[in-house]
Structure 1
Amino acid sequence: MGPEASSEAVAESLGAALSRHEGRPGRVQALRRLTGGATKRTWSFDWVCGESTQALIFQQTPGQSGPRGRVPKLDAHEDASLMRVARAHGAPAPRVHLLLTEGDGVGTGYVTEAVEGETLGKKLVGDAAFAPARGRMASQCGRILATIHATPTDQLSFLKTLSPGDEWEVYSGLLAECGVRHPALSYALRWVRERLPSRWRAGLVHADFRTGNLIVGPDGIRCVLDWEIARIGDPMQDLGVLCMRSWRFGGSGEVGGFGDREDLYAAYEEASGHAVDRERVRFWEAFSNLKWAIACARRGSGRRDDGSPASLELSAVGRRMEEPLWDFFTLLSTSPKGAPR
C-alpha cells in the first residue's frame, strides 16, 4: 500500500491484519491521521473486537534502515524490538501490540497501545494544567534515562555503536554532502573535533530524548516516543540533547523547558550509580546544537530532480540553521569554565 492510500483502505487492511493476529474478527473505527512526518505516518484508531474496544496507534515506517555509516535509522522490526526490550527492562517505551510486514497489505510498521497525555512542547512548558508535572519531570527524566542507559543490549545486535569521533565523522560528512558552507559551521565542527571525549562509558542511547517526544499527564512522564535513531554510545549525549534550548519551547527551565539541571543530575546519579560528567553533558549539548544546525542545512538544501527547492517548508527549516548555531556559541560563552571541554 502506497504512502498516500486513503484512510478507508488503511482501515480495511489494518483491520484484516489485526483480525489475523487476534485470531478473531474485529474492526477498525475512528481512524485518524496524527502527523505528517517525512519518514513516518502516524494514525490513531479504536480496535473493536468482540465486546472490547482498545485505543491503539499505528505507525507506518520505511522498510529499511539508512545506509551503513550514516545516522542510525532503525527499520520497523528493529524499532519495535528495541521498544520491547527497553520496556521489559523498565523504561516507559510504547507497548508494541503488533508488528506489520508488507504481506499485511498496509506497508511496514507496528501497532502500539495508545497512551493518554500531551506531547506538544508549548503546552507542557507553559500550560497551568501541567504545572504539577513540571515540578517532577526533571527528576523523572533522570530516572528514566538511567534505566535506558542500563538496558542490556545483547538482544539488540542491530544497533550501531558510535563513539564521539564516529558521531563527528558522520555529521561532518553529511554537511559536506549537502554543500552548505558557513563560517560558523566550520568553526563549530573544528571546536567539536578538538574536544572529542577520549573516555566514555558505552550504553544504550535514545539520542532524541526531549520535550516533544515525551507523553505527559498531570502526574508527569508516561511514555517515551521516537526510538528510531537509538544507538550504543556515550550516555551523556542524552542528557545534553534534553538540555538544548531548541527543545525548551520557550520554557525557562534548562532541562526541556520545564526543570533544573541539578534535579536531573541528582536523580540520574541516584538511579544509575554513575556520576554525571557535567562538562561532557555540556559538550554533547553543544555538539547536539551543531547536529541540529546541520540537519536544518540538509533539509533546506534539498532539491527536486529539476533543481528547484524540494518544498517551501523544507526551505523554511533550512533558514532555522542559525538558531542552534546561536545556541552553540551562547553555550560556549556562558559555560562555567568558558567552554565545555
Structure 2
Amino acid sequence: MTDLVQPLSAFMTRIAGPGELSGLSRLSGGANMESWAFDWAGRAYVLRRAPSAEYMEGRPYSHAVEAALVRAAHAGGVRAPEVVGVLADTDGMGTGYVMRRVVAEVSPAKILADPPPSLVADLGRELALIHALPRAAIPDGIKVMDTAAALAELKARFLAYGGDRPVIALAVRWCEAHLPAPADPVLVHGDYRMGNVMVDADGLAAVLDWELAHLGDPHEDLAFGCMTVWRFGRLDRPAFGVGSLEDYFAAYEAAGGRKVDRERFRFWLVYRTLWWALGCLQMGQAWRSGADTTVERVVVGRRTAEQELDLLLLLGDEAPAAERSRPLPPSSAPPAPPVGEPTTREMVQAVRDWLGEAIKPGAEGHGKFQVVVAMNALGIVMRDLEAGVRAEDRALAEAMLSGATTLAEPGLLARLRRAVLDKCAVDSPKYAALAQAREQWDG
C-alpha cells in the first residue's frame, strides 16, 4: 500500500489539482484486477489497476482502451463509472485508470436479500442501453466475437487442459450441434451479472468491470447474469437471482432491446456455463504455471465442479425419459473413523482451525479475504482426502466429444449425475444448486 501513496498522489495532483491522499485501502473484490479506494481533496475515487504490463498479456485490449470504452458508455447514458484519468508508464503504478467512486452496494448477498422493486426492470433497461451504443462511439480496440471461432477456442482449451472431463465434453458437443446463425453485432458487456453491478435504494446505480466487453450477440449478455452461479443461491429467481425471466425480457425489449429469442438465450446459457467451467480450470493452470500464485487461483480452479453440475442440470433433458428417471448408483462408502496417529486430514483440519481462530479475527480488508480463501482451500483438501473423488475420465470424454457416446446410453446419465454430485460435494458443498440437484436426481 505504501508503494502507491507517492505515485498516486502525484498522479491525482496532475489530473485533479492539489490535495491530500487519505483512506487508501484495497477493496476485497476483483478476482483479476486490483481495486483501491481512496479520497482526494474531499472527493472519493477508485483506482483500478494491474501492477505491471506483463499482467495484461493475453488480454484482448489495454486499460487505455477499456477506459475509453467506459467513458463512451458513461457519455451514452449508461450508468458506468466516470473515468477521470488513465495511468501512463511514467506514473509508476502499472496500468489502469481512476474513476469517481459510486456509493452503493455491490455485495450480491446484501443486494439479493432485499432488492429494490425496480431492479429487474433496471437490469433490463441498462442492458438495452449498452446494446444500443452506436458503433462509432466504441473504441477501435473492441473486437467482434465470432461465435464459431470462440467455441473452437474453448474446445482447444479443453483439450489442452487434459480433455478428460466428460460433462465438459458433453457441453462442447452440444454447443457445436446448436450453434446459432451469426447475429448483427452490438456492444456486449461480457460480464453483466450480480457482483459487477452496484445497487442503492433507488435501484441500479452503476455497471462495473468492462474488461470482457466485445461486439457480439446481445443474447450472450442476456444469459450470463442468469447463470445459476451468478444467482448466488436464489434459484427460484432465474433473472439475476432477482426476478422472473419474463419481467427481465419485457424490460429489455421495452427499453429498445431486440426481441428475445429463447433458443438463442438457451444456447448462450449453456455456452457461458461451459466458458466459466473452462475459466475455472484456466485459473488452476495459471497457478500451476507460476503466472499467478495466489491461493484464490487454486480454489477457483476447483469451482469447475459447480459448472459441471449446472451443465448437467441444463442438458440432462436431452436424455431419453427412461434415463432421466433411472436411479443413481450409490456413492462410495465413507471411511472408517481414524485411530492411532493423526491422519493427514486431521493435520489439515488443525491448520484450518488455527487460521479461523488465531488469524482471521485480526485480519482486515483484503488480508481477511485471503485468510478465508486459504481456509476454503484447506476445507477442499480435507474433504478430498476423505472422499478421494476425481472427475477425470479421458476415454468417456473423448467418446462424448466425438458423439460416439450420448446420453441415450443406458445408465450413463445416472453415472454422470452421481459423479458430479460427489465431486461438487467435495469442492463446493455449500453451492445452492447441489442441494437442488440432489433432491431432483437422488430423492
* TM-score normalised to structure 1 length: 0.86
Question: Which amino acid in 2 is paired with 1:75?
Answer: S
Q: What SS class does the counterpart of residue 198 from structure 2 fall into?
A: strand
Which residue, 261, 266, 276 being the options, matches 2:245? 261
2:124 to 120, 142, 150: 142
Residue in structure 1 matching 2:110, options 84, 103, 123:
123
Aligned to 1:4: none
How far does residue 274 in structure 1 lie from its aligned partner after superposition? Answer: 2.0
Q: CA 1:255–1:310 in structure 2 vs 1: closer, same or farther (change >3 Å)?
A: same
The structure 2 residue matched to 1:57, chosen from 40, 46, 51, is 46
Aligned residue for 2:118, secondary structure, equals helix
After superposition, the Cα gap between the structure-2 partners of 1:102 and 1:35, relative to the gap in structure 1 and judged at 3 Å, is: farther
Q: CA deviation at 1:179?
A: 2.6
Q: Distance in 1 between matches of 2:207 and 2:35?
A: 15
Aligned equivalent of 2:67, options 80, 83, 104:
80
- SS of the aligned residue for 1:35 comes to coil
| Rg larger for | 2
In structure 2, what residue type is equivalent to 1:54?
A: R
Letter in 2 for 1:100: L
Q: C-alpha separation between the residues in 2 aligned to 1:90 and 1:17?
A: 28
What SS does the corresponding residue of 1:222 show, helix, strand or coil? strand
- SS of the aligned residue for 1:83 comes to helix
In the alignment, the residues of structure 1 paired with residue 185 and residue 22 of structure 2 have an alpha-carbon distance, to the nearest angstrom, of: 44
Match of residue 232 from structure 2? 249
Change (3 A) 1:165 1:254: same
Q: CA offset at residue 36 of structure 1? A: 6.5
Contact preservation (8 Å) 2:287, 2:297: no
Matched, 1:107 2:107: no
Distance 1:88 1:313 in 2: 35
Paired amino acid for 1:90: G
- Aligned partners of 1:66 and 1:74 also within 8 Å: no
8 Å CA contact 2:78–2:126 kept in 1: the answer is yes
Q: What is the Cα deviation at residue 25 of structure 1?
A: 2.1
Letter in 2 for 1:266: A
Q: Which structure carries more helix by proportion?
A: 2
* Equivalent residues in 2 for 1:1-341, closer than 5 Å: 7-22=1-16, 24-35=17-28, 37=30, 39-48=32-41, 53-61=42-50, 63=53, 66-67=57-58, 73-126=60-113, 130-131=114-115, 133=116, 135-154=117-136, 155-251=138-234, 252-272=236-256, 274-304=258-288, 310=293, 312-333=295-316
Moved more, 241-250 or 153-162: 153-162
Measure, in 1, the Cα distance between the counterparts of 2:241 and 2:39.
Answer: 33
**Residue identity opposite 1:152 in structure 2:** P
SS state at 2:48 partner: strand
Over 3 Å counting, the alpha-carbon distance change for 1:273 and 1:93 in structure 2 is: closer
Closer, same or farther: CA 246–77 of 1 in aligned 2, 3 Å: same
Query: Conserved in 2, the CA contact under 8 Å of 1:57 and 1:112?
Result: yes
Checking the alignment, whether the CA contact within 8 Å between 2:147 and 2:182 is kept in structure 1 is no
Alpha-carbon separation, structure 1, partners of 2:212 and 2:95: 17
SS of residue in 2 equivalent to 1:32 = strand
**TM-fit CA distance, 1:30:** 0.9
Question: How far does residue 117 in structure 1 lie from its aligned partner after superposition?
Answer: 1.0
Q: Which moved more, 1:210-219 or 1:153-162?
A: 153-162
Q: CA RMSD in A?
A: 2.3
In the TM superposition, residue 107 of structure 1 has moved relative to its aligned partner by 2.0
Aligned-pair distance for 1:77?
0.3
User: Cα deviations across residues 291-341 of structure 1 (Å, max 9, x unaligned)?
Assistant: 1111112223445469xx955433322222121122122123469xx9xxx
Alpha-carbon shift at residue 279 of structure 1 (Å): 1.4
Change (3 A) 1:141 1:303: closer
Verify the 8 A CA contact 2:192 2:221 in the aligned structure 1.
yes
Q: Does the aligned pair in 1 maintain the 2:145–2:214 contact within 8 Å?
A: yes
Quote the Cα distance in structure 1 between the aligned partners of 2:84 and 2:247: 34
SS in 2 for 1:9: helix
Q: Please report the TM-score for the alignment, with normalisation by the length of structure 2.
A: 0.67
Q: Structure 1 residue 78: deviation in Å? A: 0.8
Q: Could you list the runs of 5+ residues in structure 1 that have no partner in the other structure?
A: 1-6
In 2, the alpha carbon distance for the partners of 1:305 and 1:258 equals 38
Alpha-carbon distance in structure 1 between the residues aligned to 2:317 and 2:12: 53
- The percent of aligned pairs where both chains have the same amino acid is 36
Q: CA offsets per residue over residues 44-64 of structure 1, 9 Å max, x none?
A: 01101xxxx100001113537
Counterpart Cα distance in 1 of 2:95 and 2:285: 29
Deviation (angstroms), 1:289: 0.6
8 Å Cα contact 1:138/1:261 also seen in 2: no
Structure 2 counterpart of 1:319, which letter? R
Q: Is the 8 A contact 2:131 2:257 kept in 1?
A: no
Structure 2 letter corresponding to 1:102: D
Contact 2:287 2:298 in 1 (8 A): no
Instruction: State the SS of the aligned residue for 2:22.
Output: strand
